[in-house]
Amino acid sequence: MINNKQCVRCINDKTVRRIRFNSEGLCSHCTCYDKYKSVLKDREHLKELFHKKISGDGDYAYDAAVGFSGGKDSTYVLYKLVKEYKLKVKAYTLDNGFMSREAREKINRIVSELGVEHEYVVYDNTLLKEAYKRIVSKYLSPCIACSFLGYAAMINYASRVNARVGIHGRSTYQMFRGLSDSSTDIFRYLLDAGLCEDQPDLDKLYGKIIEQLDRHIDKKLANDIKNTLLADAKKNGYRDFLAYFLYHPYDHREIVSFLEKNTSWKAEKESEHFDCLIHHGALYLKDTVARRSHLMPEYSVMINEGIITKEEALLKMNEKVDPETAKRELKALCEYADINYNWMMLKAKIYSKRWW
């Protein structure tokens, strides 16, 4: 790891974008997290708030539209909403063009077990390829393309099927990994809205989020995403988009144990991100640019959450992606999106030399 100033509490250092350190050596991610800490510990209040968010009057076809990847977190969320909260749920899966066979098998099996309506949402192939090509060329991260497309599609889906709310299963450390006071932190808007006692102004909320499309990608692609993937939300009105694990405790081991006891879901060779056929390639590409694990901010949130110690996080920073596996996956991405592999890797190395 690069020898840069490191936070006195977590492992974030100067390589993290837009990070700042106060006079005591605490990074801005930790100081931002501290603003939410007392609220996140009040589990009884959060549970009541979640009940409030998913209840109320209105003529809806479904209580909730739930994003379902087949992974442990989304499977757990789907089970809890159906079996314990007794909600009428419409589950959906966003097909990013690189969905694994294992993911499809788990998705089809679990929705059958739970008796849940389910739909695969398939992106327009031209839009998908354009998004990968333009965003990977600019940011060297296919995950950013998936995020822009995914959030737009998820925000839209609840409106399309007339669900009261949309619900996702991102973990706390995934939600808080980029936490900052920056106006570009999309999840901060969603976190603040999710913790608000009153119904947020959804037009204003999603207006701020959609602004990031225009700020971060070219105008044509931004307009294509908005016009193609947000049409129903614009027509029928936005719905609240709730993070299940903002209101409920998150424990990796307990979730896996619960699922293996109550469903046919099993952790195979790898329980994280098995659904994406280019996950290792994307991870390798981002690590190359950062010259360290790009998961550093997630590990730092885990430290704040008490999930791991600082020493354990530093050990995780040394975990490496197999370069041959990464190369194979990245070449598949490049072939799909018409990107020159050698040019992409050269650009990644050049970026790494001027990384903050």
Same domain, 290 and 239: no
Taking only the tens place, the pLDDT of each residue in 127-141 is: 999 999 999 999 999
Q: In which domain, by residue range, is 241 found?
A: 45-247
- What is the C-alpha to C-alpha distance for residues 178 and 292, in angstroms, rounded to an integer? 16
Q: Kindly state whether residue 267 falls inside one of the protein's structural domains.
A: no
Quote the pLDDT of residue 212: 81
pLDDT digits (tens, 9 = 90+) for 54-73: 998 889 999 999 999 999 99
162 with 202, same domain: the answer is yes
CATH of the domain at 53: 3.40.50
Mean pLDDT score of the chain, rounded to an integer? 91
Task: Indicate whether 182 belongs to any domain.
Answer: yes
Q: Among residues 247, 265, 293, which one ends one of the domains? A: 247
Percent with pLDDT over 90 in the chain: 76
pLDDT one-digit tens code per residue, 277-290: 999 999 999 999 99
CB under 8 Å to 70, separation ≥6 — which residues?
A: 93, 102, 103, 104, 105, 106, 107, 110, 275
Residue 23 lies in a domain: no
Query: At residue 152, does pLDDT exceed 70?
Result: yes
Q: Are residues 210 and 93 in the same domain?
A: yes
What pLDDT score was predicted for residue 211?
A: 84
The confidence band for 355, taking pLDDT boundaries of 50, 70 and 90, is very low
pLDDT band per the 50, 70, 90 thresholds, residue 17: confident
Of 247, 267, 302, the position where a domain reaches its end is 247
Q: Do 61 and 109 lie in a common domain?
A: yes
Query: How much is the pLDDT for 230?
Result: 93
pLDDT, tens only, 90-110: 999 999 999 999 999 999 999
**Pick from 247, 268, 295: which residue ends a domain?**
247
Kindly state the percentage of the chain with pLDDT values over 70: 95
4 assigned to some structural domain: no
61/58 Cα distance (integer angstroms): 10
Give the count of domains, the chain: 2
In-domain check, residue 49: yes
**Statement: residue 33 has pLDDT above 80:** yes
Res 187: pLDDT: 75
pLDDT at 352: 80
Band of residue 351 on the pLDDT scale cut at 50, 70, 90: confident
Q: Is the pLDDT of residue 273 over 80?
A: no
pLDDT grade for 271, boundaries at 50, 70 and 90: low
Give per-residue pLDDT as tens, 165-198. Answer: 999 999 988 889 888 765 566 778 889 999 999 8
With respect to residue 12, please indicate whether it lies within any of the assigned structural domains.
no
pLDDT one-digit tens code per residue, 308-347:
999 999 999 999 899 999 999 999 999 999 999 999 999 9
Residue 1 in this model has a pLDDT that exceeds 60: no
- Tell me, yes or no, whether 16 lies in a domain: no
Same domain, yes or no: 343 and 204: no
Q: In this predicted model, what pLDDT tens digit does every residue of 196-238 receive, in sequence order?
A: 998 899 999 998 888 888 888 888 999 999 999 999 999 999 9
User: Do 224 and 311 belong to one domain?
Assistant: no
Give yes or no: residues 205 and 109 share one domain: yes
Q: Are residues 88 and 159 in the same domain?
A: yes
Q: Is the pLDDT of residue 255 over 90?
A: yes
Q: Is the per-residue pLDDT at 144 higher than 50?
A: yes
**pLDDT at residue 323, rounded to an integer:** 95
Q: Which residue's structure tokens are 């650009």?
A: 347
Instruction: Take residue 191 and report the two structure tokens written for it.
Output: 């976190």
- Residue 84: which pLDDT band, with cuts at 50, 70 and 90? very high
Residues 305 and 236 in one domain: no
Show the DSSP H helices in the chain as ranges.
28-41, 43-54, 72-79, 101-114, 125-139, 142-160, 172-176, 186-195, 202-216, 219-229, 231-236, 244-247, 252-262, 279-290, 296-305, 310-316, 323-337, 341-353
The packing angle between helices 28-41 and 43-54, to 10°, is: 80
d(C-alpha 242, C-alpha 164), whole Å? 11
Domain for residue 127, yes or no?
A: yes
**127 and 187 inside one domain:** yes
Q: Looking at residue 311, what is its pLDDT?
A: 96
Are residues 99 and 242 part of one domain? Answer: yes
Other CB atoms within a 10 A radius of the CB of residue 98 amount to: 21
If DSSP codes are grouped into helix, strand and coil, which group holds residue 217?
Answer: coil
Per-residue confidence (pLDDT) for residue 270, from 0 to 100: 53
Task: Give yes or no: residues 91 and 206 share one domain.
Answer: yes
pLDDT score of 4 more than 70: no
